[in-house]
Amino acid sequence: MQIKDKDLMSVQEARALILKAKMAQKELSKLGQKKIDLIVKGMAEVAYEESARLARMAVIETKFGKYEDKIIKNQFASMAVYEYIREMKTVGVIREDKEKKILEIATPVGVVAALVPSTNPTSTAIFKALIALKSGNSIIFSPHPSAIKCISETARLLNEKAVELGAPDGVVNCMSIATREGTAELMSHKDVSLIIATGGSAMVKAAYASGTPALGVGPGNVPAFIERTADIDLAVEKIIISKTFDNGTICASEQSVITENCIKDKVQKAFISQGGYFLKGEEVIKVISVMTKPYGGVNPQVVGQSALTIASMAGITVPDDTKVLICEQNGVGKEFPFSMEKLSPILGFYSEENWENACDRCIELLKYGGLGHSLVIHSNDEKIIREFALKKPVSRMLVNTPSSHGAIGATTGLAPSLTLGCGTIGGSATSDNVTPLHLINIRRVAYEIKSAVGRAEKTDKKEEVKVANTSSIDVEKITRLVLESLKNLKEEN
């Protein structure tokens, strides 16, 4: 059945859900840390148990990615995130500094609006729900139109489990009518306290322009540099693992490989032996025709598809074991389509004279749609690693690890997160991997530890104030002497 006035119905639904979430959050905020932790634990467990079913729903509905990898992402978003946040103090008194006499009290922000993309729908919803409730907030999902069913089911499961464990109904909600108007109403409503936006640049900008505080995640045009001291075979293996994970739908996946001329042949041979296919001649034009939209940008039809599927779409023949399509480039920008973020198993390939030139190329790529996000370097030269770290405009520089896995904290010591801040240079309010600690306000109680009141010394004697006697000064004489001096000075000159 076709819905008439879909935009108006979406706006009304947003308002109704905000009211429901606001009332639920007030009740949730009365529960202590222990009770909230019990609820969050139950939510994580049910999400983990349902990981396979939710992954299947996501693949069927969106046509993006791999079923097996989406299971892993759901499991990571549930139990790996839960284990990290389990001991966090997020409710009531969270810290006391007895020396400085400061007491810190966590207060929830209130109702959180969460924009959820189609590339990582169920895992992102699980993650955002867990961190929202851990910090005492309720949450409303605004799903991508092509992922409404799987995100709605995720929200239903989590809310149902939370209520079963003592939370008020309405702590986890999802809009069922997805329109720009409804999302705009959700983001700008006076009773929504914070937006967590994950998705395209336009959506993130809209979140920041809404007037509501927001945590946004921009695009990740991630460069991967293979430096001459790297273990080349291992570096290539990790890049392919990362780039093919869920068919490249994680925004932290590598988009271009940069290496040095002295090892270029070895790097290319390593890619070819491990399933990389270097496009040549007419193949490049054919892949570009399906990879990009007529007016620029990646074609949604190739997002989350396998290398073999994309090759078939382009009408080219590649070996059956092809995992990644690679195209050598010598520039960055619209004239070089492989230099952009592609969200699929497609890589641009660059070779530079030395690491300094490679460093410059990485910065150029980051400026073309990836500022503030992530970069990965494969090297065993700590000096060069440090030099890269000092110069790169990114929030995460990952070393000798798959970028998709390292950036979200799966293979590194970073906070496990599916919302990766890009810092102010990337248009984001934070450069952190977002956690529950970003969803609380901290009230600080501070006692006086040093006096601001000066105490004057007491005295019984009245000091006499001596004032110069000006009655005996001959003003006319002084004036005459000054004029004579000026006259003499003028004659001398």
Token pair belonging to 67: 């079923």
Q: Which residues pair with 28 in a beta bridge?
A: none
Taking phi over 0 as left and psi of -120 to 50 as alpha, with beta for the rest, 63 belongs to left
Cβ neighbours, 10 Å, residue 390: 8
Reported pTM: 0.89
The structure tokens 């240079």 sit at: 425
**Is the CB of residue 115 less than 8 Å from the CB of residue 203?**
yes
Buried b (16+ CB within 10 A) or exposed e, 101-132: eeeebbebbbbbbbbbbbbbbbbbbbbbbbbb
Among the listed residues 293, 288, 287, the one whose alpha carbon sits nearest the alpha carbon of residue 311 = 287
As to burial, measured by CB atoms within 10 angstroms (0-12 exposed, 13-18 middle, 19+ buried), residue 349 is buried
- Give CA separation, 255 vs 3, 128, 237, 340, in Å: 40, 26, 15, 7
pLDDT at 406: 98
pLDDT at 457: 53
Domains of the chain: 6-218+435-444 (3.40.605.10), 222-409 (3.40.309.10)
Q: What are phi and psi of 42, to 5 degrees?
A: -65, -40
Q: Which residues of the chain have pLDDT under 70?
A: 1-4, 454-476, 478-483, 485-493
Cβ neighbours, 10 Å, residue 400: 17
* Average pLDDT value over all residues in the chain: 93
The residues annotated with a catalytic role in the active site are 251
- Is residue 215 within a helix (H) or strand (E), and if so which, with residue range? strand 214-217
Token pair belonging to 488: 């003499």
Secondary structure, 3-state, 221-286: CEEEEECCCCCHHHHHHHHHHHHHHHHHCCCCCEEEEEEEHHHHHHHHHHHHHCCEEECCCHHHHH
Among the listed residues 137, 131, 136, the one whose alpha carbon sits nearest the alpha carbon of residue 82 = 131
pLDDT at 204: 81
pLDDT at 485: 63
pLDDT at 203: 80
- Give CA separation, 377 vs 335, 401, 406, in Å: 26, 8, 12
Token pair belonging to 47: 């999400």
pLDDT digits (tens, 9 = 90+) for 286-296: 999 999 998 88
SS3 content of the chain, % helix, strand, coil (to 5): 45, 20, 35
Among the listed residues 178, 141, 134, 146, the one whose alpha carbon sits nearest the alpha carbon of residue 156 = 141
- Is residue 96 within a helix (H) or strand (E), and if so which, with residue range? strand 92-97
